[in-house]
Every structure is written in C-alpha cells, then in structure tokens.
Amino acid sequence: MTAQPDIDAILAEYASWPGGLMPALHAIQHQHGWVSSEHVPALADAFNVSVAEVHGVISFYSDFRTEAPKGPLVQLCRAEACAARGAKAVHERAIAEVAGQPIDLEDVFCLGLCTAGPVITAQGRVHSNVTPDEVAVIIGHALRNDAVPPAPASTARRPDTITVFVPIDAAARAVGADDVAAGLVDAPGVHLVRNGSRGMLWLEPMVEIDTPQGRVAYGPVGVADVPGLLEADLLHGGEHPLRLGLVDDLPWMRSQQRYTFRRVGVVDPRDPDDYERNGGLVGLRRALTMQPTDVVAEVTDSGLRGRGGAAFPTGIKLRTVLEAAGTTKYIVCNADEGDSGSFADRMLMEGDPFMLVEGMVIAGWAVGANDGYVYIRSEYPDAIEAMRAAIAAAEQRGWLNGPGSVGGVLGTDFVFRLHLRVGAGAYICGEETALLESLEGRRGVVRAKPPLPALEGLWGKPTVVNNVLSLGTLPAILADGAASYAALGTGRSRGTQVVQLAGNVARGGIIETPFGITVDEVVNVLGGGTASGRSVRAVQVGGPLGAYLSTDHLDVPVDYEAFAAAGLLLGHGSFVVFDDTVDMAAMARFAMEFCAVESCGKCTPCRIGSTRGVELIDKITAGIDREQNIDTLLDLCEVMADASLCAMGGFTPLPVRSALSQFTDDFHRTSPSTEGSHS
C-alpha cells in the first residue's frame, strides 16, 4: 500500500488530460495510499501549474492524505439520514474501538445509502444498518485486513436457464446482495443478471425472476434464504414467505409514474444491448435527425427544469449555450450528489448509466458541444464503475467517440467525447461553479456569477451544467416527445419529481411521481412512518441546506412554487425522516458544523460564520446568555443567508432557523447559566 507510486507512469498517463491534476492525485493516492509533498514539483511541472497551486489543491480535498496512513481506512457517515438512524452511538463506539489501533477512522458525509444508515465503509466495502456492536466486528475485520470476495457479475445467457435478477445497486450490495448473487450464480438453471434497484430499498436485496407472467419479486433476501428459495422453486415464481408477487403490481410501483427511472431495475446496466432492447437510443437517434434549435425547443416545451435543486428551465439554459459565441462548448454533468438523503443520481447511474450517456450526447448535439464531462463524487465508487463501463461500451458501439474512433456518433458527423472525472471529498463541488473549478484541476472554490457558466463555464467556454436526472431525462423526452413530459405535473412544475425518502422511515427509497403529492403522503403513506415505530417528529427536505418541517407542516404539496411560497427548498427532492428522539438543537448545530467542514472558505459569512454558528449554538444549549445568543444567532443567519456567495452559506440558515422556530424547546434543555458569559 505504501510502496512508491510510479509517478512517471501516472504523469505520462494524465499529463495530457485537461484538468488532469485531480485524476493524477487520485492515481497516486490509489497506488501509494497518500500523496507525498515529494511529488508536488513533478505534478506542478506536468500540469504546468505552480507548486503552490498543487499544494492548494491537495489541501482542499479531504480525499487526499498528506501523511502515510496508520492502517486501514474506516469511514463513518455522520450526515443527517444516518444521524436519524443512530449514527451517533455507532460513532462513539467506533472511536472507542480504534483507540490506539493502527487504523484511520474518518468522518464522511453521505454515501448515498440513506435508507439503511448508519453506514460504514471499511476496506472498500460498505456496511449498512450498522449497530454499535457490529462496528467492533467490522473494525476487527479491517485490522486483520480480511479479504473481500469480488462481486459476482451477470452471467452469459445459456439455453434452458431462467433469468434471476439480483441488484448490483450499492444500496442492495450494502445489505448483502453480492452474497445472495454468489449463492445463486452457480445454481442449476440460473442465468444471473445484476440489475439496478427498483428503489424499494427496504426490500433489498430484492431478487426478481423472469416468468412468463412477468417479473416476480422476493425480498428482502438474505444469503441464508437462498437454499430455501431454490427449494421453493424460486426459478418458477414458487411460493415462499419472501415472495412479494409481480413487481409491477407492488403498491409502491403502482403508485408511481416512472419516467426517468423507466429502465432502472429493469435492465442490466452493463449491457448495451439490453439498453437498446428497452428503448435506449430512440431519443438520440431522433435528436440527430433534428436541427439543434428544434431539439432545444423540444426540451423547452417539455417544461423540464433543472433537477439538481435550482429548478432552472433546462431548455433556456440549452438555448443560452447554443446561442453563445464560440465553437468550443461543453456539457458538464453534475453527479456530485452530496446531499444527505439524496441518492437518485447514484441509482440512475448504477441502474441505467447508458441513459445518462445518451442524455449528454443529446445535450451536446443540441448546443454544439463536442466534449462532455461527468463529475462523480468519490463517495460513489459503484456509480463511478458503472459509468466507466457504460462509457467504454458506448465508445465501442460508436454511440460516443472514443480513442481512435473515426467519424461521429451513430455514424453521423457529430463528434462527442465523454470524460469521467471523480471528485475528492468536497461537498461544495456540487455547486456548479466549484464543480467547474474542480474539473479544471483546481481548488473547488465557488466563482462569483456573473459570468454565468452558460456563457463562461469550463475553461471559460460556454457550458451546460446540469444534474444527472436533468440530463438523464432528455432521452425520454426526445423519444416520447415534449408532451409526454409536459402532460405530467402541476402548474409550472411539469413532469415528475424523483422523491428520495430516507432516514428513520419504514419504507425508504425512490418514488418517481408527478409533482403535487404532499409531504405527508410521502412520509406517512408511502414511507409508512418511522422505522423505529416511534412517531415522526421532523422531516428535513432538500438536503443538509433544507428546512426541518415539524409534523404541523407536512401538508405542503411537492412542487417548486408551493415550496418556495412556504420558504422551503425542494432541492434535489430528498426527505429525511426523524423520530421523536431527535435533538433538534443538535441538528441545528450539525447544519452549522457541516457548513464549517464543507465551506470552500471563499466568502466571509460562510467561512467564519459557520464556525461562529456552532459556537453560538453550543452556548445556547449550555444555557450561556441564551436569549442574547439566540438573537446573535438569528442575526448571523441573516448575514449568512443574505450575504453569502453561494447556496452553501446562503441556505445553511434554513435548517437552523427552522429548528429554532419550530423546535424551540430543544434549545432550552439546560437551565440558564451565566458562567462563561461575556459582554
């Protein structure tokens, strides 16, 4: 692990990559376990930057370690959805377990497995629903460096076999899907397909059997259940206590209108033929017969709005870039899905990666861009792998231009290359301008706007920056026509919302539904209330920068305008449920702490304000000059909200203020004290 990295080979590979510094640092870290300052001059030379800049980049991203690791790395998620499911106790136990041991324990903020927290990674493997006792076991394995078996892949189809689907989605793998797949792969008559997840994450690992009646589901299946299931004639849909019935008839599925997620869980994400058989490329083929302006018009007419949170009309953005001066333009896919409680992007990339590829090609054609970049956070190794494989397959098929390819996409003259880049542990890179900086191989520091990225984006060129779901929806809109999307939804919120339900909830997962469903329906009807069985106390909507709703406010309909009217942020559509044991002062503190950890550090309100926010809340909960400090906290919230450069500092006050206004009692638990007071 700590052998010297082959720096020359790494630099030879990445020196010609635009913004190649980050990939090179990843490669060094991968080979070496850390990045030594010895390598800084060579990196600076290779990428034509200064040693100071390289140092600045390394020190910005939490992934890059500048000291030799003590031992294996264990990461614990501390974000809200895991916090809602008891991460604090796990965290405390882990700290006790690693004390004095040669092991590196670090915090991580969201691995996108938000229905099954607390989540831990060790030796590259993810463990979910971890209890404090299990933490001790996991750390023990890590210390012994126990081998992790490889995940079984889809098998080739043989005669007289029946297709058995076992999801390869990270959420399914985290609860043992690989073990289930390993138990099934060699069973007689089994043709194993690793599909995406249907999004009913409480049922994972959910095994599906291809029967003449349709796909029959069993779940959640443990590895111990496999022999019994085979015995119960699983392969022909046989009866078993775990048998759920036909997938399409399940209430969860029937309650939805799957538009963007139409193929997720259906197809084998590694199989381009499967993609084409299931409607893939129809949209792209049609788009390529149209003029770019007509493609843009189609998107505009669909009413699609940016699904990363800002809800900016996608068609207008495409038109801006199309009409922008210059011949070099870029498509950038923001797959830095860092919000706790959000995992739709991850699931789409893991379950239907070709759709994102296709969507980016369509966007490229629409605006005249020949290069696309998909920037995926490093906390999503499965999504990275899925996209890497999909891009390679698409290049091979001529759906994309790849190394040595001749001509353009699908036999046309249109050239489009797609590049995958991996983040390095910085939440702020989900902010579009910080993401562009990061793609350029720099510190992920937010840019001031204007100029808009649509006019001066990546390397100063006109750039479409859109979320995975926005770009991933383009193939469907182009395939089915603008009206197919516009027909769904309510008011100006057209189409569907991909709701992600997580935290302390009985039935968590993905719900793709037309806009208009209420929060209460999402949480209590579809989600079935809390997982703990206790009453729901709070729901955080829209990620770590979203407000906490008390149960009095759950009747808001899920649409952009209604949310905005209520002073809320729909964001990426995540709903994290908390039961009545939650300490909302602690959650408010967490919001400030998260901002303090993840702030890029550029603007003053966010850089200093978040730290002062944590300190103020500590004083408030300790009962020190409470009323005065609450006033100061509210003033701080105003400064952060109205003076910050980007949404990170700007929206951090939302959870804080909402906790303070709706859960006031939690801030008054200790008796007031004048100790340590100040004037």
Does 55 engage in binding with another protein (CB under 8 A)? yes
Q: Which two tokens stand for residue 662?
A: 């709706």
Does 334 engage in binding with another protein (CB under 8 A)? no
Q: How far is CA 485 from the centre of its chain?
A: 24
Give least dist CB 446 to another protein, A.
Answer: 9
Residue with tokens 């702490």: 593
Of 55-63, 168-176, 197-205, 532-540: span binding another protein (CB under 8 A) = 55-63
* Cβ atoms < 10 Å from Cβ of 642: 11
The answer to whether the CB of 180 falls within 8 A of the CB of 166 is yes
Give CA angle at 434 (429, 438), nearest 5°: 75
Of 4-12, 195-203, 402-410, 601-609: span binding another protein (CB under 8 A) = 601-609
Does 448 engage in binding with another protein (CB under 8 A)? yes
2 CB-contact burial (10 Å; exposed 0-12 / middle 13-18 / buried 19+): exposed
Does 603 engage in binding with another protein (CB under 8 A)? yes
Count of residues near another protein by CB under 8 A: 52
DSSP assignment of 19-82 equals: TTHHHHHHHHHHHHSS--GGGHHHHHHHHT--HHHHHHHHHH-TT--SS--SS-EEEEE-SHHH
Residue with tokens 């991909």: 498
Pick 96 or 564: Cβ nearer another protein: 564
Q: Work out which of 59, 581, 664, 673 binds another protein, going by CB under 8 A.
A: 59
Pick 529 or 609: Cβ nearer another protein: 609
Does 615 engage in binding with another protein (CB under 8 A)? yes
Give least dist CB 343 to another protein, A.
Answer: 25
Does 50 engage in binding with another protein (CB under 8 A)? yes
Does 662 engage in binding with another protein (CB under 8 A)? no
Does 602 engage in binding with another protein (CB under 8 A)? yes
Q: Work out which of 328, 412, 484, 611 binds another protein, going by CB under 8 A.
A: 611
Of 53-61, 96-104, 138-146, 148-156: span binding another protein (CB under 8 A) = 53-61
Pick 84 or 630: Cβ nearer another protein: 630
Residues 628-647 that bind another protein (CB under 8 A): 628, 632, 635-636, 638-639, 642-645
Which CB contacts under 8 angstroms, 24+ apart, belong to 284-287? Answer: 284/358, 284/361, 284/362, 284/365, 284/399, 284/409, 284/410, 284/475, 284/478, 285/410, 286/478, 286/479, 287/362, 287/365, 287/366, 287/478
Does 597 engage in binding with another protein (CB under 8 A)? yes
Pick 426 or 476: Cβ nearer another protein: 426
Q: Work out which of 598, 626, 666, 667 binds another protein, going by CB under 8 A.
A: 598
Pick 574 or 610: Cβ nearer another protein: 610
Q: Which two tokens stand for residue 496?
A: 């569907």
Residues 28-47 that bind another protein (CB under 8 A): 37, 40, 44-45
Beta-ladder partners of 163: 191
CA 303/CA 313 separation, integer angstroms:
7
Does 616 engage in binding with another protein (CB under 8 A)? yes
Q: CB-side exposure of 6: number of CA atoms within 13 Å?
A: 5
Q: Which residues bind another protein (CB under 8 A)?
A: 37, 40, 44-45, 48-56, 59-60, 426, 428, 443-445, 448-450, 596-605, 607-612, 615-616, 628, 632, 635-636, 638-639, 642-645, 678
